[in-house]
Amino acid sequence: MTYHPKSDFISVMMERGYLADCTDYQGLDEALMTPGQSAYIGFDATATSLHVGSLIQIMMLRWFQKTGHKPITLMGGGTTKVGDPSFRADERPLLTDDQIDSNIAGIKKVFAAYIDYDTGAENSAMMLNNAEWLDDLNYLTFLRDIGRHFSVNRMLSFESVKSRLDREQSLSFLEFNYMILQAYDFLELNRRYGCVLQMGGSDQWGNIVNGIDLTRRVLDHEIYGLTSPLLTTSDGKKMGKSQNGAIWLNSDMLSPYEFWQFWRNTTDADVGRFLKLYTELPVDECNRLGALEGSEVNAAKVILANEVTALLHGRAAAEAAEATAREVFEKGGVGDDLPTLSLSSADLGDGISIVQLIVKSGLAKSGKDAKRLIAENGAKIDDKPLTDAGLMIDAAALASPIKLSAGKKRHALVQLDG
């Protein structure tokens, strides 16, 4: 793209690799020359924590604030009741109001680490919940005032819907309403707060365009949409998943050490790109670190892990994770921060199999996986090869904690309570 932006925000988005598409680069760029503009990203409450896949959007809101504007974090208390069908093969399970409220309470914890709310400054952020205007909509009034602006033909042409229908997978009428409700969110945010921009992943393009069209038709206001690329790692895997499942952002669902390890294990080819997207290091420094090769790239991975972890969990947690990793990997010792499985005497009984311990400690998903790990010489106990899948661990063996390892990079402690 040859467009040369004037606003700080668009400059950052382009330079650091956040931009996939925009409805009007020049119009948005000029609008953002005036400080204190508002933009939003919506987050549906489908779990009690967001995972790493949402971190690019959180960083976009952070940069929006750092460049002098007002980010709006929109909790999807209303839209979660419907479920976004975009690029999904099946309908999301319906959650109760209590489950949604509980999930929102969990998700909110993360944002305070990245965004400043209620500071009274011109760029003070807001956190809103779309249940505020969606819960009490009158169905007939909504159909007449809002529904008449939507063409079903056009809605069916959006890739997120079309791909589902092309595969002959059912799309319920409930889900089909989702894009109308998301469009209505943009209209309401523009009407109430003067919000001029919706951002999201590139899978949200159709939903964002609908909101822009609706707001122009109803209010005759000029607003914009901007999307980020849907990130995959260099080996083609979806960002945010690991061998053990989702990389959660809440510390009660994934320890800071395990979060740090995820970034430390980044593929060489992804280091420079991830430094630009997930840290605030200068772009030149990101490029320099990303270009390192051989053993030197490992130092860049530690910097990546430290910077990303410090933003989310604080600098002290990042330093503690690095210290633990150094102790585990370089000295073969046991770090204080290692994921720990604590067993009671009742759990232990007369003994527990090593296969069960490997599964319980999160180093394998199933007994079958654990046995395969042992058979392929990938398991260690206290840094010595573990070859006996029938080994039983009793209270005497746990007189002091034992360290289990899966491969070179994944470790856990097992200890007896009391």
- Residues of each annotated binding site for L-tyrosine: 40, 178, 182
| Binding-site residues for ATP | 241
DSSP conformation letters of 130-148: THHHHTT--HHHHHHHTGG
Count the helix, strand and coil residues of the chain and give each as a percent rounded to the nearest 5. Answer: 50, 15, 35
Tokens encoding 36: 């204190």
Calculate the CA dihedral of residues 254, 409, 17, 111 and round it to 10 degrees: 10
What is the DSSP secondary-structure string of 39-53?
EEEEEE-SSSS-BGG
Dihedrals φ, ψ of 366, to 5°?
-150, 170
- How far is Cα 200 from Cα 22, in angstroms, rounded to an integer? 11
Q: Which residues are annotated as a binding site?
A: 40, 178, 182, 241
Q: Look up tokens 């790493």; give the residue.
A: 52
Place of tokens 């169905």: 139
Q: Helix or strand or coil: residue 103?
A: helix
Secondary element (H or E) of residue 199: strand 197-201
The whole-angstrom distance between residue 61's C-alpha and the CA centroid of its chain comes to 13
